[in-house]
Copies of this chain bind each other. A is one copy, B any other.
Amino acid sequence: MLYLIGLGLADEKDISVRGLEIVKRASRVYLEAYTAILLVEKHVLESFYGREVILADREMVESNSEAILKSAEKEDVAFLVVGDPCSATTHTDLLLRARHATPAIPTRVLPNTSIMTAIGCTGLQLYNFGQTVSMVFFTDNWKPTSIYDRIKENVAHGFHTLVLLDIKVKEASEENMARGRPWIFEPPRFMSSALCAEQLLYVEGERKEGICGPDNLAVAVARVGSEEEKIVAGTLEELSTVDLGKPLHSLVLIGKKGHEMEMEYVRDFAIDKAKFEVIWKRDYGKS
């Protein structure tokens, strides 16, 4: 059987009790390490599990999955995913392939928390979130503003918007690609909440429709679910200057339909509580 096992968000102890049992007895264990990262290194996981873990990069999963699926119809193979296994297309694709293999490979998914639910730690109600969006690293030549239209759809209904921040793991630089050396990888890059806020302000400057401007309220989070979790609320202007430290960061644009109780909870995280409350009372909380 192929098990897709969610590891949760922080460290080796966020795996479920059942997940750990399976990891210990499986023939092979893979760790998917390109859609997100755990806050601990692979060797810490191996030490805790008492066994070796094979790193699976995007190429292996998307173009070479036979290695992962080999013998899974008669052995247990565990495929570990940071966060939750069903949050990204790359994983459902693997399940589809297992399902349609000959012979068919039985599969089971052990869900775990994802940033998409753990973001409730901000006090913002999950029911009030619209679609989730992704912010990519801008380059000199490429500053896509399509994210603005997605956020705008949420804003039209007063919903919160969870912004997932770009991570680049094992990517070749543009220069090395151009020089025909795609195997030279850049060091991993994880977008900070401050850079995300900056890029949102840039896009607002281009589009000017009052969607994500300097006075819009937002919440930045880092290392959610861990002991070093950090939550900071404020205007996008303020958040573009705050350093939340080590990865992983996310950001939520607060929706205008926000409730009084959400505000009460979030305000405690504000850089400037008085200012936060003034802006809220002025622009937010319209049901």
Q: Which residues of A line the B interface, CB within 8 A?
A: 6, 8-9, 12-18, 20-21, 84-87, 89, 92-93, 95-96, 99, 108-114, 116-121, 123, 125-134, 153, 157, 159, 224-225, 227, 261, 264-265, 268
Instruction: Report the copy number of this chain in the oligomer.
Output: 2
Query: Taking CB as reference atom, which chain B residue is nearest A134?
Result: B127
Please, which residues of chain B bring their CB within 8 A of the CB of A157?
Answer: 131, 153
B14 touches A15 (CB 8 A): no
Q: Which of B13, B84, B112, B261 interacts with A21 by CB under 8 Å?
A: B13
Q: Once the chains are docked, how many angstroms separate the CA of A265 from the CA of B94?
A: 11
A113 touches B111 (CB 8 A): yes
Give chain B nearest CB distance to A127 CB in angstroms. Answer: 5
B131 touches A129 (CB 8 A): yes
- Given contacts A86-B118, A96-B123, A113-B114, 4 further A-B pairs with CB under 8 A are A13-B17, A16-B16, A84-B120, A153-B157
B113 touches A117 (CB 8 A): yes
B17 touches A14 (CB 8 A): yes
B117 touches A87 (CB 8 A): yes
Please, which residues of chain B bring their CB within 8 A of the CB of A109?
Answer: 121, 225
Give chain B nearest CB distance to A171 CB in angstroms. Answer: 21
Please, which residues of chain B bring their CB within 8 A of the CB of A134?
Answer: 127
Please, which residues of chain B bring their CB within 8 A of the CB of A18?
Answer: 13-14
Please, which residues of chain B bring their CB within 8 A of the CB of A268?
Answer: 99
Please, which residues of chain B bring their CB within 8 A of the CB of A129?
Answer: 131
B118 touches A111 (CB 8 A): yes
Q: List 30 contacting pairs A-B, 8 Å CB cutoff, sorted by A.
A: A8-B16, A12-B17, A13-B17, A13-B21, A14-B16, A14-B17, A15-B16, A16-B16, A84-B113, A84-B120, A86-B120, A86-B121, A87-B126, A92-B123, A92-B125, A92-B265, A96-B261, A96-B265, A109-B225, A110-B225, A111-B118, A111-B120, A111-B121, A111-B224, A112-B112, A116-B116, A116-B117, A116-B126, A127-B132, A127-B133
Q: Once the chains are docked, how many angstroms separate the CA of A218 from the CA of B278?
A: 43
B159 touches A117 (CB 8 A): no
